[in-house]
Amino acid sequence: MNAKKYVEKTFEEMKQRNDGQIEFHQAVEEVFKSLIPVFEKHPEYIENGILERIVEPERQLMFRVPWVDDNGNVKVNRGFRIQFNSAIGPYKGGLRLHPTVNLSIIKFLGFEQIFKNSLTGLPIGGGKGGSDFDPKGKSDGEIMRFCQSFMTELCKYIGQYMDVPAGDIGVGGREIGYLFGQYKRLKSTYEAGVLTGKGLNYGGSLVRKEATGYGLIYFVDEMLKGKGMSFKDKKVVVSGSGNVAIYAMEKAQQLGAKVIACSDSNGYIYDKNGIDLDTVKKIKEVERKRIKEYIKYHKDAEYHEEHRGIWTIQCDIALPCATQNEINEQEAKVLIENGVIAVGEGANMPSTLDAVNVFLQNGVLFGPAKAANAGGVAVSALEMSQNSMRYSWTFEEVDERLNNIMKNIYINTVKCAEEYGYKDNYVVGANIAGFLKVADAMLAQGIV
Ligand code: NDP
């Protein structure tokens, strides 16, 4: 069958089978379109039904998560774990706790994770999970009881050789601690490699907290260097003020950039003097408050309601680090009118397909999520290595490995883009580079 027809037919069948799962359709569409030139060169992938198989999760789990709030009321949330592809290693991917979580969102994230994990060069398959539980405003006790209930069901399906969850939106060190404690209690075993993002005193890795943000900056730095530029003196805007955003800001500042804005889901702050990261960390990591608090400490700074307004600020480099579809076509155009030269996706699928096209057509250096934010999962895999060795590397050792991994992702992305006739298109390059390793492993392992 003709490659284009094969891809279109498989995409239509996937849409019918997963009716209404719009985020999942969006993620699949982007990857599938990039792969047409691959199928033209490699009919064996068509003959072995690689695309039909890769788009169907190996296993999908949905379960009830009952818990009791501080007032004694019974609450029920829905838990998810999508074990998408284990061709190159155990399923690996974060857990998201956010009221918007549904099957479509977890499937889009799990699908992306297959290719991202492959790009890291490390032996990890793709998976993702989470719940529609809203951690905002919950007490520590409520968070703990929710995590314990969630793990009571999830523990049946995970393990260091099977599926290794980590954090994502709403899941940081505190939540991983509660999840790990409950897993250990239920299984009566100290299986450190079952979760990543653990605390440093019980099997965590140095640099895991910083990894996604730092990795994003390492990747964007490679893109800039490839065109004879650097972060030095560049004006940078970062959406979000969570784990990815904070450490992206930190590394960008270390490389000489001036970060002038960041946000949360309520609004954004603009500080023409450059964001003071200690204040942001205090508000977000310690006090768990809203970003609006920043203007109490910095009188020159401005706060604006409506977080998407952040894309109207004039900047050289834009780093969306909050959530999916946070930059649309119109916002992409405004960024270009204001002179943006590079966009690096710290969040997963933060740009709509139309926005991506606007960036690519206008020659913006565009680092797609599965390449640019792969640093988090890469250091998670390094955490698994350290757990297996029962040994830990220093901050510098892990950071150097992370930096090398991000450089290699950039090199492979550029190489694949060129090889398949899409020079400077890192979307196509990353999709192809990630796909080839998984597809070849699937070919080698037969029809499973
Ligand atoms: P956090 O929960 O630490 O922070 C998320 C940030 O984004 C917060 O500032 C939050 O604001 C904001 N945000 C969340 N949802 C929305 C929304 N619907 N609209 C606007 N703002 C929103 O999450 P992370 O930093 O870990 O994750 C951010 C992104 O990075 C996600 O897309 C995640 O999938 C991706 N990612 C994370 C990795 C990791 O290692 N943590 C690895 C790779 C990708 P508020 O506090 O108001 O909710």
321 CB within 6 A, ligand 1: yes
First to last CA, the chain: 22
CA distance 32 to 266: 34
Domain with 348 in it: what CATH number? 3.40.50.720
| 176 in the same domain as 52 | yes
Q: How far is the centre of ligand 1, averaged over its atoms, from the C-alpha of 292 (Å)?
A: 17
Q: For 74-102, where are the alpha helices, taking DSSP H only?
A: none
**Tokens of residue 250, six digits:** 């930190």
240 CB within 6 A, ligand 1: yes
* Predicted local distance difference test score (pLDDT) of residue 191: 98
The radius of gyration of the chain's CA atoms, rounded to the nearest angstrom, is 21
Catalytic position from the list 92, 116, 128, 234: 128
| 448 in the same domain as 361 | no
344 CB within 6 A, ligand 1: no
**Tokens of residue 242, six digits:** 């969570």
**Splitting the chain (448 residues) into consecutive groups of 10 residues, what average pLDDT does each group show?**
94 98 98 96 96 98 98 98 98 98 98 98 98 97 98 98 98 97 98 98 98 98 98 98 98 98 98 98 96 97 97 98 98 98 98 98 98 98 98 98 98 98 97 98 98
| 252 in the same domain as 180 | no
Nearest CA to ligand 1 atom 28: 322
Q: Report yes or no on 95 lying in a domain.
A: yes
| 165 in the same domain as 17 | yes
CA distance 281 to 48: 50
- Bridge partners, residue 270, by sequence: 261, 302
167 CB within 6 A, ligand 1: yes
Give catalytic status of residue 128 as yes or no: yes
pLDDT digits (tens, 9 = 90+) for 299-356: 999 999 999 999 999 999 999 999 999 999 999 999 999 999 999 999 999 999 999 9
What strand order describes the sheet that includes 125-131? 59-68, 74-85, 125-131, 91-97, 163-167
Q: How far is the centre of ligand 1, averaged over its atoms, from the C-alpha of 243 (Å)?
A: 7
Mutate to test the pocket of ligand 1, among 119, 207, 265, 402 (most ligand atoms within 8 A of CB): 265
**Residue 411 near residue 122 (C-beta atoms within 8 A):** no
Nearest CA to ligand 1 atom 43: 373
Q: Could you give the maximum distance between any two Cα atoms of the chain, in Å?
A: 64
| Residue 302 CB contacts under 8 Å (≥ 6 apart), including other chains | 269, 270, 271, 295
At residue 32's C-alpha, the angle toward residues 29 and 35, to 5°, is 150
Atom of ligand 1 nearest to the CA of 263: 9
CA distance 168 to 80: 13
244 CB within 6 A, ligand 1: yes
| 150 in the same domain as 48 | yes
| 258 in the same domain as 223 | yes
Give the DSSP letter of residue 310: G
Domain with 148 in it: what CATH number? 3.40.50.10860
Number of domains in the chain: 2
Q: Report yes or no on 148 lying in a domain.
A: yes
248 lies in which domain range? 211-367
User: Taking the complete model, does pTM exceed 0.85, yes or no?
Assistant: yes
| 216 in the same domain as 159 | no
| 154 in the same domain as 286 | no
| 9 in the same domain as 138 | yes
**Residue 112 near residue 369 (C-beta atoms within 8 A):** yes
Nearest CA to ligand 1 atom 42: 376
| 53 in the same domain as 149 | yes
